[in-house]
């Protein structure tokens, strides 16, 4: 059974609809949602793993994509700052290296000492 143009078009339409439905909810990610989404990264940022897992990197990409406006990036920055600050086991160096280790370019710092008002 071959793939038809109509079949491909239907799949693309379903993907577009899913993105339209899911996209707005990601754009308004709460701090608890960011915390929950990034939970697969806990072993890496606490030094229990030498590299972030694929699930962690997928979460980093999702959170980064959801922070699509300056205000969303500042809110995400503040959330990340709070998450890192409340867990003394988090190693600042690992948290800061996380996006790079996942191959994700971000403009949001991940540190206890972040000045989120400077994020653009």
60 within 8 A of 41, measured Cβ to Cβ? yes
Nearest-5° Cα angle at 53, 51 to 56:
115
Average pLDDT per consecutive 10 residues, the chain (120 residues; last block may be shorter): 41 36 53 95 97 98 94 95 94 96 93 93
Question: In degrees to the nearest 10, what's the CA dihedral of 30, 36, 37, 39?
Answer: 150
Share of the chain above pLDDT 90, in %: 73
- Among candidates 68, 95, 71, 69, which has minimal Cα distance to 81? 95
Per-residue burial over 6-27, b if 16 or more Cβ lie within 10 Å, else e, is eeeeeeeeeeeeeeeeeeeebe
- With tokens 């915390």, the residue in question is 35
pLDDT for the residue numbered 16: 36
Handedness of CA 57, 45, 39, 99 (dihedral sign): negative
Query: 54-79: per-residue pLDDT in tens?
Result: 999 999 999 999 999 999 999 999 99
- Among candidates 115, 104, 50, which has minimal Cα distance to 77? 115
């Amino acid at each position: 059974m071959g793939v038809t143009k109509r079949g491909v078009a239907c799949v693309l339409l379903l993907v577009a609809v899913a993105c339209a439905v899911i996209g707005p909810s990601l754009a308004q990610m709460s701090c608890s949602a960011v915390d929950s989404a990034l939970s697969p990264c806990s072993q890496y940022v606490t030094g229990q793993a030498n590299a972030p897992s694929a699930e962690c990197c997928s979460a980093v990409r999702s959170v980064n994509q959801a922070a699509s406006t300056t205000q969303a990036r500042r809110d995400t920055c503040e959330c990340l700052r709070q998450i890192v600050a409340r867990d003394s086991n988090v190693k600042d160096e690992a948290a800061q290296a996380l996006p790079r280790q996942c191959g994700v370019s971000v403009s949001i710092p991940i540190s206890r000492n972040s000045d989120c008002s400077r994020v653009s």
